[in-house]
């Protein structure tokens, strides 16, 4: 596990050592969720090609889908111009990313009136 790759060293982690990661369906571009990664989560994700996050509520490494089976297979990975956000293009196994049992976590639409 290489935690000191050049590109990882370019990333700007926050005061807690975390960086936001957007998970996007690689097929149709749907934004499925956003969660947080630390260095270890990034390294494990690249090593296994299955997305790992850092759970802020549980304060532990979180292999997404390890319990539910709804793992996320990494297809492509990007970081932004400021190197403080990650974009993960993934295959969402089961087509369910949200812990509520739906495809995307962004199911609450604001009525703009």
Question: What are the residues binding a copy of itself (CB under 8 A)?
Answer: 7, 20, 22, 24, 28-31, 33-34, 46, 49, 74, 76-83, 85, 87, 98-100, 105-110, 112-113
Q: Closer CB to a copy of itself, residue 69 or residue 113?
A: 113
State the nearest-atom distance from the C-beta of 69 to a copy of itself, in Å: 19
SS3 sequence of 43-64 = HHHHHHCECEEEECCCCEEEEC
What the block records as the tokens of 95 is 């087509």
Q: Closer CB to a copy of itself, residue 54 or residue 79?
A: 79
State the nearest-atom distance from the C-beta of 51 to a copy of itself, in Å: 12
State the nearest-atom distance from the C-beta of 2 to a copy of itself, in Å: 10
Choose among 2, 1, 3, 26: nearest CA to 13.
Answer: 3
Angle at alpha carbon of residue 32, lines to 94 and 21, rounded to 5°: 120
Choose among 76, 74, 24, 70: nearest CA to 49.
Answer: 74
State the nearest-atom distance from the C-beta of 77 to a copy of itself, in Å: 4
């Amino acid at each position: 596990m290489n935690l000191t790759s050049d590109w990882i060293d370019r990333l700007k982690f926050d005061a807690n050592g975390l960086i936001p990661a957007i998970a996007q369906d690689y097929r149709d571009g749907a934004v499925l969720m956003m969660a947080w990664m630390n260095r270890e989560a990034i390294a494990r994700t690249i090593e296994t090609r299955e997305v790992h996050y850092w759970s802020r509520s549980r304060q532990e490494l979180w292999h997404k889908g390890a319990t539910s089976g709804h793992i996320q297979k990494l297809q492509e990975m990007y970081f932004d111009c400021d190197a403080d956000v990650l974009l993960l293009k993934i295959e969402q196994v089961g087509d369910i990313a949200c812990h509520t049992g739906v495809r995307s976590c962004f199911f609450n639409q604001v009525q703009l009136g």
